[in-house]
Chain A
């Protein structure tokens, strides 16, 4: 008998519809990833009971774990469906959407709030313009390596999914945004607006909302030093508090 793969997928036609489970069985192939399992269902949308159905909807783009789109919960672990290889997974493979964001349909959610929090945190360099102003500031190889590690964040939301402090109704911005604040605060020019970012992050939803559960760093697919960054930001925050105190007095 040829080998097959069984998937159990949480279906939901929209945020106001009732969720239900649907199982699918597809042929096994070498180097099969969860993403191609979903693509296979599109080519023959029949469930395990032999009943014609619609193919599940999910978010996808690059399929090489650099865009962050296909993030979902695979066998209770939040990760990208493209790098989830069937050979490494127990069956049935259970697929669910992220729970900390509004559902669009089936396995697809809207992470808009994540992007809005990035805007709120002012994580950019305030350049004077795009005209020719010569080279940027020099930078040591060590600083470049640190910043590159932080800059690989693809806004996937794994760290937010596992954070006990993060939720739809709660203000905490989460580890990824805090690490981005560090990324810009250590940049030679970005540092000129460090206090503005620290001010934002000192408000409710900022760094003090972190409960130090340290789940975030364990699930980050890009191994970003998230907890180390929150600690570093905490130290910057102490300095900022002192500066603020003395500038008032």
Chain B
């Protein structure tokens, strides 16, 4: 394939949709993925995808979807892109339907819709409780079709190591690691689209997949791509604890009638329903997680003093549960060994999603010309808190709109980038691996990872205190120093998972520092960022996007205004109807 091909890094929903759009415009794509694309993290999304199609005649509209998205974001999302996304949502769901996604149906054969967090409308199209998987497969099939036509070349089990830049600072390709052979290769490209997902592993055990390493965006960040809003990290209210990870129990369980409760004064206490009569169990995630944390940690009201509350579907008809929720209830059954159809599930909040990411303009281009970002790794659309079922939408929407500008950008004539420039980047990456291979210190990268993850999860999620953040920042420096003294056990030059992990760990530590620094600086509470010392949203001083640049090995923070040109500011309330 020619060097005309645009490179897409990441084969989840955003990367696949970008690939489809670029191919549709007649342009070839080289698609790089850490795993075979069908195994990307998007497959774990359960609940559904939002689109105001108003099948049930409730008077829903894209405008209402937009307003609820902005209120849900606590007004930190730029409004025009969010509006674009909500307006396009019906087209996106119809497109997926045409691709053959087995969405659940009404008796008439129309798409069925369920409720979801932060809304009172039935706006969420769904395929059982494995919607992400079904959307992934539909896009994978379409990419496969272009692959059969010769427009797509896949590089699976390859990991992006860095971007290539020319003397003008434009992105001109990538350096990537073929993980099975451990060979670093540089690829020229007229444009690069990063669709590398979120940084789950920064928080250790989360609802994310093991491939959500947070590494690739940090490589781009260190090469000059600006970051935005890293402090906004979504904690999902309902997940189950596991030794290896936390497993999501979808918001759709509550949307289908699941009720959350614990005991108080010996009686069942349906606290969401009491505190938020209008939205009940479907308050947005930032609020729901904060309430559960308060009830369990501060009030000590977890059942039997345990670190959980109950999520109960035992009052719902078995047949309905099987038709609409079997995918998620099966996860509970298989991993907890208990029957969730007839017993309340034990759930607790877990880190789930990053609202922040690479800064982009309204064409999805990062601060590095020629480098685009789409999906969870971009910062657009969700502000300080993402509404459920808006992530599948934003991934696909971003992939959809990046195609045309990326192809147009790629069509310009630029002077050739010299072979020596490629060799230099490859040499740098190879050298970094050689240093890891030569390491014979006493530290174990996986244990440092555990320490970082547990600390970030404990101290930098639902509740943030400046004094604690200062301690975390200091500890991260220590861990970084420790990570420089690891002893590599596997010296093999084939699929060296340990060497790859050790390098990614350094990236994650930098990601963690960035989150902590931005969280420390923001002296207010907004969406998922909650500081008891500054308990209120402060629009006068903090209605602004956090920007982070990396220069001279320092993290430099600055701010830019949020585009609030379409919807006036208002108080965010869920105890009454909007």
B-contacting residues of A (Cβ < 8 Å)? 13-14, 29, 31-33, 35-36, 39, 42-45, 52-55, 57, 59-69, 82-83, 85, 87, 104-105, 108, 110-112, 115, 118-119, 122-127, 129-130, 132-136, 138-141, 144-145, 147-148, 151-152, 154-155, 183-184, 187, 189-190
Contact = CB atoms under 8 A, between A and B. Distances in A.
Nearest to A183: B100
Contacts of B489: 45, 52-55
Contact of B243 (A13, A31, A136): A31
A43 B244 contact: no
Nearest to A184: B100
Contact of B494 (A35, A63, A105): A105
Interface in B130-160: 130, 133-134, 137, 141-142, 144-145, 147-148, 156-157
Interface string B233-257: 0000000001111011000000000
Contact of B94 (A53, A136, A184): A136
A35 B242 CA distance: 11
A59 B153 CA distance: 22
A177 to B, nearest CB: 12
A249 to B, nearest CB: 31
Contacts of A61: 35, 39-41, 209-211
B400 A60 contact: no
B450 A135 contact: no
Contacts of A127: 95, 98-99, 142
A65 B492 contact: no
Of B99, B100, B180, B494, most A-chain CB atoms within 10 Å: B100
A66 B98 contact: no
9 contacts: A35-B244, A57-B490, A57-B497, A64-B44, A112-B36, A132-B95, A138-B110, A148-B134, A154-B38
B396 to A, nearest CB: 10
B24 A130 contact: yes
Nearest to A68: B39
B468 to A, nearest CB: 26
A10 to B, nearest CB: 15
B556 to A, nearest CB: 34
Contacts of A125: 98-100, 141
Contacts of A148: 102, 104, 127-128, 134
A116 to B, nearest CB: 9
A144 B103 contact: yes
Of B44, B99, B156, most A-chain CB atoms within 10 Å: B99
A190 B97 CA distance: 12
Contacts of A52: 489
Nearest to B104: A144
A152 B100 contact: no
Contact of B335 (A39, A83, A119): A83
B186 interface: no
Contact of A104 (B20, B127, B180, B447): B180
B99 A139 contact: no
Given A14-B494, A144-B105, A62 B94 contact: no
Given A36-B244, A138-B110, 18 more contacts: A13-B494, A57-B495, A61-B39, A65-B334, A66-B130, A67-B39, A85-B335, A85-B337, A125-B141, A130-B20, A130-B95, A135-B97, A136-B100, A138-B105, A139-B109, A140-B109, A141-B109, A189-B98
Contacts of B103: 144
Contacts of A154: 38-39, 43, 133
Contacts of B41: 61-62
Contacts of A63: 209-210, 242, 244-245, 247
Contacts of B111: 135
Nearest to A114: B36
A15 to B, nearest CB: 9
A229 B24 CA distance: 33
Interface string B262-285: 000000000000000000000000
B107 interface: yes
Interface in B473-528: 489-492, 494-498
A174 B165 CA distance: 45
B499 to A, nearest CB: 10
A55 B498 contact: yes
B94 A132 contact: yes
A33 B243 contact: yes
